[in-house]
Structure 1
């Protein structure tokens, strides 16, 4: 028998199966294929080729990365009820746009704790209902610290609270028995100086509340917020002592948190990432916003005004890979800066933490000491990461921090110096504030070559504000550059002259974000000249004050390498009229020109598309035509392309040799008839720049209107507010 013809049982089974399949009718095959397609469609979540579930990673995520997985009980929104829960007698509620009021609220709580052993609840106004004030417990105290933003508006986190309080006023809801203190943060250069705290105080008083002590109004216009805060606090102590028991004790420091050295995986450490999504490399799975900024590549950068006294830079960032990130003309671009290397190294050095194993030691921030605290810093992290990416270590040292630091001074002489600087207003102003000295700089000044090894790191964490993003008006239009918004910024370097009128590179104010961006600009310039091996000159090694500090431009874990910055878009109400045929009057000085570049760019593009555009009149204040006449060539090109008198540019030079000084308000007065004609034709009026300039422009506008209408200046001001303000035709975007 031929064994080659014998078949294995498995082969016989396959042969039988193939005969069976061949016997299946064509119709049956169709049914089978349809069922198979439906099965794949279901697995694909509605698509034949399914996209991965953006939240699928949560099934595989380690618990230490997601935090406490337990569902937390919902916290009460009744402020009095919350006080009773934690057993405290004082609530400090803050409303803040930039973090200033929040920082002072925290400071007030620490000072009352150290001086009087008073336990306080520090809370965001947005976390509680204003209506709960009507049931505020007798014997307890409420403190309000709130800033005024824009044109007399409350900060974002206080909008709901203030609106609810206004409803209570209209309905007559009483707050009898409520005892409160109030301090506002504002700027006298603004028309509605501290309007929010004034309105809050008036409403609470009208509804039966009792204010203790004076109504505080801190003024930032002269850099007096710190002193106004201290003066307000000292003035109210006598009145406060009649309401609650104050037993002053020697100054002590009682931490509300612990800083613990830990051993954790490096991948779970926050090394400077601004969001959890950035830490987990999942930024594309969530929206880019103030909670999760976008690591945008810098597409282009150039110097507009290279004069060492005032360097201006034009910078463009790309959002091409973030399709959901969009902007409109007039919006703001938020830049997330970091601290310069010299300041980080200085502080680590004076603290005795500059060794690599100390600066990079993983730490955990434990808030269990204070059940009311709101952790606002990431953990686990490192001391170096906190000082470089998260804390405002370059800020002016505060007087109360100097007093607390004296407890840990390395020598008796240093302790005495710190106490003098912290308690003597004049000494602080001339030796610290005048130099804009950071705490690291002060520590070096009072104890050169000494190590402050006894300073608790928790004291620094509690004393420094968290770094906030800086906002810049976008200077482009999405009609022209939809995926590449631009900003225009002046590098903020204010040197301090010594008595012999020389510049001391250790003294003065360096803008945190503008110098950070300038470092990027210089690095790009180096690359463009093919000198990639050159580094930006460290500020501490520079020969002139204007040199650029050194920054870790590659960011945490090199996530910003290749010239990237963390940014997000903030919406603004500083907008062009919806109807492009409405004429516009624009007034700017310096980098206040930024949004108007976008305005003119947009209208020029609309004109190219055949749209009818209204007349544009732009007053621009600068020193001279060769120093800081920003975008000079662009304005001339726009005017030539638009033709006729569609776009009128009025440069106002304040330091042009051989000519009388002219400021923007003078230019407005000189062209008063054109301005009045445009207003009569329904023009929208815009001002952008320093608050002092805006105030002068508004005053001159009122004067021009008063003369034309034969009214008093007060009547003209009311007319402008009624005619233009209420109609949405008067806008300001100002600062300082």
Structure 2
């Protein structure tokens, strides 16, 4: 008889088809009499806990498989056995991490866009590796290093110092750690594992194996028994628990074997190849909440001109590019660092206009806090492109709504200017949204509401579904 367990990967931005195929497979297998091992798992690539959702589901799956097939397991025994001995020289990190298509690009400049005291947004420019190309709307994936503060905390917790520069790792199974050759302790901690990754149930079980103190065991067991990824602290890491409970005698080799492999991070490119085909820019927010530091954003923030980093261009969804015909108008909805791809879109239109092509005027609806604090690119490029006739600007300032015609958030500005939005809709414009998931939901609801003013709510939903694949594209994060 057939046994099954299904985990579905999808993106909630595609609401019509989200999890449709995994749910169909799951229901069909059950209907046909197959034996269910575990409830349907679902991961949302458009959210901020995709990997955590899978890790939690996977841990439950291994527990079920162990019971079903009488397999005896013991916590960290499932981890590759890593032996460590002190010994030195750097390794090819990208190859070891199985990212062979990433290559070294060069930092040209890195500057702060926001006022002092405001949440930091930065602009960074790179020279691409030879032969690497891109389109406006694509992503640049970068291979970061952990923040130096994370590395310092690891070395302190395991009583290493930077003077111990050489260790040798040997693994009994597949691993993406640098094995069989000398490597620095700080290098392993910095570049090969996700130190700040949210702690998993498997991690907690591993910590329990190396805990003899009754109070610590009781506390860890309580955390394990009440573990809920959605309701728990999404920023608690394995390192946080090791620092909180110093009597856990976890070896460094087990610690690094317990952590996920360092992975590439994707950022929307904020430039157009018509500006410069060999260079790209990124526009990004720097994430920092107490001890929690965004790995990639802090890495990028600390780069300087002349630095080299591993990178690769990744294509975006087919619909998330400027129309090939520049006479098709665009309506752009964004907030915060969601500005990134739209700077590239508008830069492309500006270059086309300067080359003498007929370019339709587009409109940018943009939400931020204050006009003199975080209205990105407003005083230079956006002002210039507005004078050129490429774009009309419709901002919303959450902390100064009186300076944006009484509109606090971007969806408020869209609704206030719904006559304009409706005119664009009738002209066949393409609509784009980039920003956090909650902002994207609010914009979508406002857009459908505008359509519904004329066609009614039910018909508006149907119209939106019809145009979604060709005229309404989204790039949502968080």
Matched position secondary structure for 2:282: strand
Instruction: Tell me the residue number matched to 1:725.
Output: 468
CA distance in 2, matches of 1:210, 1:615: 58
Contact persistence 1:360–1:384 (CA under 8 A): no
Answer with 1 or 2: which has the greater Rg.
1
Matching residue of 1:603: 349
Residue 3 (structure 2) pairs with residue 197 (structure 1): no
Q: TM-score, normalised by structure 1?
A: 0.58
Q: Is the 8 A contact 1:405 1:455 kept in 2?
A: no
Tell me which residue corresponds to 2:144.
337
Distance 1:656 1:230 in 2: 42
1:419 deviates by 2.6
Q: Tell whether 2:100 aligns with 1:291.
A: yes
Pair 1:360-2:166 in alignment: yes
User: Is the counterpart of residue 389 in structure 1 residue 196 in structure 2?
Assistant: no
1:300 aligned partner: 109
Question: 2: CA distance between counterparts of 1:325 and 1:232?
Answer: 36
Deviation for aligned residue 1:205: 4.8
Q: Deviations over 1:120-158 (max 9, x none)?
A: xxxxxxxxxxxxxxxxxx3x6443334213744xxxxxx
Q: How does 1:168-179 map to 2 (within 5 A)?
A: none
Partner residue, 1:275: 95
Give the secondary structure class of the aligned counterpart of 2:396.
strand
Equivalence for 1:639: 386
Instruction: Please state whether the residue corresponding to 1:254 is helix, strand or coil.
Output: helix
Tell me the distance in 2 between the aligned counterparts of 1:456 and 1:263: 12
Q: Which residue is 1:492 aligned to?
A: 287
When the two structures are superposed, what TM-score results if normalisation uses the length of structure 2?
A: 0.86
2:298 aligned residue (480, 490, 515) = 515
Where relative contact order (Cα < 8 A, 6+ residues apart) is larger, the structure is 2
Shift of 1:606: 0.8
Describe how 1:406-485 pairs up with structure 2 within 5 A. Answer: 406-409=208-211, 411-425=213-227, 434=233, 436-447=235-246, 453=249, 455=251, 457=253, 459-485=254-280
SS at match of 1:662: coil
- Kindly provide the CA deviation profile for residues 578-606 of structure 1, in whole angstroms up to 9, marking residues without a partner as x: 11111111111111111111111111111
Partners of 2:21 and 2:205 in 1: how far apart? Answer: 32
Q: 1:734 to 1:195 in 2, by over 3 A?
A: farther
Q: In the alignment, is the contact (CA less than 8 A) between 2:82 and 2:257 conserved in 1?
A: no
Measure, in 2, the Cα distance between the counterparts of 1:298 and 1:345.
Answer: 25
For 2:68, what is the secondary structure of its paired residue? coil
Q: Deviations over 1:20-59 (max 9, x none)?
A: xxxxxxxxxxxxxxxxxxxxxxxxxxxxxxxxxxxxxxxx
SS at match of 2:124: strand
Q: Is the 8 A contact 1:592 1:688 kept in 2?
A: yes
List alignment gaps of at least 5 residues for structure 1.
Answer: 1-137, 153-189, 279-288, 368-373, 496-506, 525-561
User: When the two structures are aligned, how many residues end up with a matched partner?
Assistant: 470
How many Å separate the matches in 2 of 1:307 and 1:194?
A: 43
How far apart in 2 are the matches of 1:595 and 1:224? 23
Q: Is contact 2:6–2:40 with CA below 8 Å preserved after alignment?
A: no
SS at match of 1:614: coil
Give distance in 2, aligned partners of 1:684 and 1:228: 35
Distance change >3 Å, CA 229–CA 468, structure 1 → 2: closer
Give 5+ residue unaligned stretches, structure 2: none
Which residue does the alignment assign to 2:36?
211
